Structure 1
Protein backbone atom coordinates (compact mmCIF):
# COMPACT_ATOMS: atom_id res chain seq x y z
CA UNK A 1 0.00 0.00 0.00
CA UNK A 2 2.83 2.43 0.77
CA UNK A 3 4.16 1.85 -2.74
CA UNK A 4 0.81 3.04 -4.10
CA UNK A 5 0.93 6.16 -1.89
CA UNK A 6 4.45 6.91 -3.10
CA UNK A 7 3.39 6.66 -6.74
CA UNK A 8 0.34 8.85 -6.04
CA UNK A 9 2.54 11.45 -4.33
CA UNK A 10 5.07 11.49 -7.17
CA UNK A 11 2.21 11.77 -9.68
CA UNK A 12 0.76 14.72 -7.75
CA UNK A 13 4.18 16.37 -7.48
CA UNK A 14 4.75 15.84 -11.21
CA UNK A 15 1.40 17.51 -12.00
CA UNK A 16 2.15 20.45 -9.68
CA UNK A 17 5.59 20.95 -11.25
CA UNK A 18 3.93 20.79 -14.69
CA UNK A 19 1.46 23.48 -13.59
CA UNK A 20 4.35 25.69 -12.43
CA UNK A 21 6.15 25.19 -15.76
CA UNK A 22 2.94 26.23 -17.55
CA UNK A 23 2.68 29.35 -15.38
CA UNK A 24 6.28 30.28 -16.19
CA UNK A 25 5.77 29.68 -19.93
CA UNK A 26 2.52 31.64 -20.10
CA UNK A 27 3.85 34.34 -17.75
CA UNK A 28 0.64 33.96 -15.75
CA UNK A 29 0.93 35.01 -13.05
CA UNK A 30 3.96 37.15 -13.91
CA UNK A 31 5.34 36.43 -10.43
CA UNK A 32 5.92 32.80 -11.46
CA UNK A 33 8.59 33.65 -14.04
CA UNK A 34 10.10 36.38 -11.86
CA UNK A 35 10.42 34.07 -8.85
CA UNK A 36 11.78 31.20 -10.94
CA UNK A 37 14.42 33.53 -12.40
CA UNK A 38 15.27 34.85 -8.92
CA UNK A 39 15.69 31.35 -7.47
CA UNK A 40 17.87 30.11 -10.31
CA UNK A 41 19.89 33.34 -10.22
CA UNK A 42 20.75 32.85 -6.55
CA UNK A 43 21.92 29.30 -7.23
CA UNK A 44 18.97 26.92 -6.95
CA UNK A 45 18.89 24.12 -9.50
CA UNK A 46 15.96 24.26 -11.94
CA UNK A 47 14.29 21.18 -10.38
CA UNK A 48 14.66 22.55 -6.84
CA UNK A 49 13.20 25.92 -7.81
CA UNK A 50 10.24 24.24 -9.54
CA UNK A 51 9.72 21.92 -6.56
CA UNK A 52 9.65 24.84 -4.09
CA UNK A 53 7.16 26.69 -6.26
CA UNK A 54 5.05 23.52 -6.52
CA UNK A 55 4.98 23.30 -2.71
CA UNK A 56 3.52 26.82 -2.58
CA UNK A 57 0.88 25.86 -5.15
CA UNK A 58 0.04 22.67 -3.21
CA UNK A 59 -0.25 24.68 0.01
CA UNK A 60 -2.78 27.04 -1.61
CA UNK A 61 -4.75 24.16 -3.18
CA UNK A 62 -4.96 22.42 0.22
CA UNK A 63 -6.17 25.68 1.82
CA UNK A 64 -8.81 26.08 -0.92
CA UNK A 65 -10.13 22.58 -0.34
CA UNK A 66 -9.97 22.85 3.45
CA UNK A 67 -11.70 26.25 3.59
CA UNK A 68 -14.00 25.65 0.59
CA UNK A 69 -12.97 28.88 -1.13
CA UNK A 70 -11.67 30.17 -4.44
CA UNK A 71 -7.98 30.36 -5.38
CA UNK A 72 -6.31 33.32 -3.65
CA UNK A 73 -4.07 34.71 -6.38
CA UNK A 74 -2.78 37.57 -4.22
CA UNK A 75 -1.70 35.20 -1.44
CA UNK A 76 -0.18 32.82 -4.00
CA UNK A 77 1.95 35.56 -5.59
CA UNK A 78 3.02 36.83 -2.16
CA UNK A 79 3.98 33.30 -1.08
CA UNK A 80 5.92 32.76 -4.32
CA UNK A 81 7.83 35.99 -3.79
CA UNK A 82 8.71 34.88 -0.23
CA UNK A 83 10.60 31.85 -1.55
CA UNK A 84 12.92 30.23 -0.62
CA UNK A 85 10.95 30.59 2.63
CA UNK A 86 8.11 28.11 2.38
CA UNK A 87 4.56 28.74 3.67
CA UNK A 88 4.18 27.77 7.29
CA UNK A 89 7.89 28.31 8.06
CA UNK A 90 7.60 31.95 9.04
Structure 2
Protein backbone atom coordinates (compact mmCIF):
# COMPACT_ATOMS: atom_id res chain seq x y z
CA UNK A 1 0.00 0.00 0.00
CA UNK A 2 1.38 3.39 -0.93
CA UNK A 3 1.73 6.21 1.59
CA UNK A 4 -1.05 8.08 -0.19
CA UNK A 5 -3.43 5.09 0.03
CA UNK A 6 -2.48 4.59 3.67
CA UNK A 7 -3.11 8.28 4.37
CA UNK A 8 -6.48 8.19 2.59
CA UNK A 9 -7.52 5.08 4.53
CA UNK A 10 -6.49 6.72 7.80
CA UNK A 11 -8.42 9.88 6.89
CA UNK A 12 -11.51 7.83 5.99
CA UNK A 13 -11.35 5.93 9.27
CA UNK A 14 -10.90 9.15 11.27
CA UNK A 15 -13.88 10.68 9.43
CA UNK A 16 -16.05 7.63 10.21
CA UNK A 17 -14.99 7.66 13.88
CA UNK A 18 -15.85 11.38 14.06
CA UNK A 19 -19.27 10.63 12.56
CA UNK A 20 -19.85 7.92 15.18
CA UNK A 21 -18.78 10.27 17.99
CA UNK A 22 -21.25 12.86 16.66
CA UNK A 23 -24.02 10.25 16.59
CA UNK A 24 -23.28 9.23 20.18
CA UNK A 25 -23.19 12.84 21.37
CA UNK A 26 -26.42 13.82 19.58
CA UNK A 27 -28.09 10.46 20.29
CA UNK A 28 -29.07 10.35 16.63
CA UNK A 29 -29.79 7.57 16.04
CA UNK A 30 -30.62 6.70 19.65
CA UNK A 31 -29.03 3.27 19.13
CA UNK A 32 -25.61 4.87 18.76
CA UNK A 33 -25.25 5.83 22.43
CA UNK A 34 -26.94 2.63 23.63
CA UNK A 35 -24.63 0.41 21.58
CA UNK A 36 -21.52 2.37 22.59
CA UNK A 37 -22.52 2.02 26.25
CA UNK A 38 -23.19 -1.71 25.78
CA UNK A 39 -19.83 -2.33 24.16
CA UNK A 40 -17.88 -0.44 26.82
CA UNK A 41 -19.90 -2.15 29.56
CA UNK A 42 -18.89 -5.61 28.30
CA UNK A 43 -15.22 -4.63 28.25
CA UNK A 44 -14.42 -2.99 24.93
CA UNK A 45 -12.05 -0.05 25.11
CA UNK A 46 -13.48 3.24 23.86
CA UNK A 47 -11.38 3.19 20.68
CA UNK A 48 -12.33 -0.43 19.91
CA UNK A 49 -16.05 0.26 20.39
CA UNK A 50 -15.84 3.30 18.10
CA UNK A 51 -13.92 1.28 15.52
CA UNK A 52 -16.56 -1.49 15.47
CA UNK A 53 -19.33 1.06 15.08
CA UNK A 54 -17.38 2.80 12.28
CA UNK A 55 -17.10 -0.53 10.44
CA UNK A 56 -20.90 -0.82 10.46
CA UNK A 57 -21.24 2.74 9.14
CA UNK A 58 -18.65 2.03 6.42
CA UNK A 59 -20.53 -1.14 5.44
CA UNK A 60 -23.77 0.82 4.99
CA UNK A 61 -22.06 3.61 3.03
CA UNK A 62 -20.45 1.05 0.69
CA UNK A 63 -23.85 -0.62 0.18
CA UNK A 64 -25.47 2.77 -0.54
CA UNK A 65 -22.87 3.55 -3.20
CA UNK A 66 -22.93 0.07 -4.74
CA UNK A 67 -26.74 -0.05 -4.91
CA UNK A 68 -27.26 3.67 -5.63
CA UNK A 69 -29.79 4.07 -2.83
CA UNK A 70 -30.49 6.20 0.23
CA UNK A 71 -29.08 5.50 3.68
CA UNK A 72 -31.01 2.65 5.35
CA UNK A 73 -31.36 3.88 8.91
CA UNK A 74 -33.35 0.83 10.01
CA UNK A 75 -30.68 -1.59 8.77
CA UNK A 76 -27.97 0.59 10.30
CA UNK A 77 -29.61 0.57 13.75
CA UNK A 78 -30.14 -3.21 13.58
CA UNK A 79 -26.52 -3.74 12.58
CA UNK A 80 -25.31 -1.48 15.40
CA UNK A 81 -27.42 -3.38 17.92
CA UNK A 82 -25.95 -6.69 16.66
CA UNK A 83 -22.40 -5.60 17.59
CA UNK A 84 -19.89 -6.96 18.39
CA UNK A 85 -21.06 -9.25 15.56
CA UNK A 86 -20.23 -7.49 12.30
CA UNK A 87 -22.56 -7.57 9.28
CA UNK A 88 -21.83 -10.11 6.57
CA UNK A 89 -20.24 -8.81 3.41
CA UNK A 90 -23.19 -10.05 1.34
CA UNK A 91 -25.93 -8.37 3.41
Relative to the length of structure 2, the TM-score reads 0.96
The aligned counterpart of 2:67 is: 67
Give the RMSD, CA atoms, in angstroms: 1.4
The aligned counterpart of 2:19 is: 19
The aligned counterpart of 1:9 is: 9
- C-alpha distance in 1 between matches for 2:74 and 2:80: 10
Query: Secondary structure at the residue paired with 2:17?
Result: helix
What is the Cα deviation at residue 37 of structure 1? Answer: 0.1
- C-alpha distance in 2 between matches for 1:16 and 1:87: 17
- C-alpha distance in 2 between matches for 1:23 and 1:67: 24
Where structure 1 has 5 or more consecutive residues not aligned to the other structure, the ranges are none
The aligned counterpart of 2:45 is: 45
Query: Is 1:86 paired with 2:89?
Result: no
Where structure 2 has 5 or more consecutive residues not aligned to the other structure, the ranges are none
CA deviations 1:10-29 (Å, max 9, x no partner) are 00000000000000000000
Report the number of matched residues.
Answer: 90
Relative to the length of structure 1, the TM-score reads 0.97
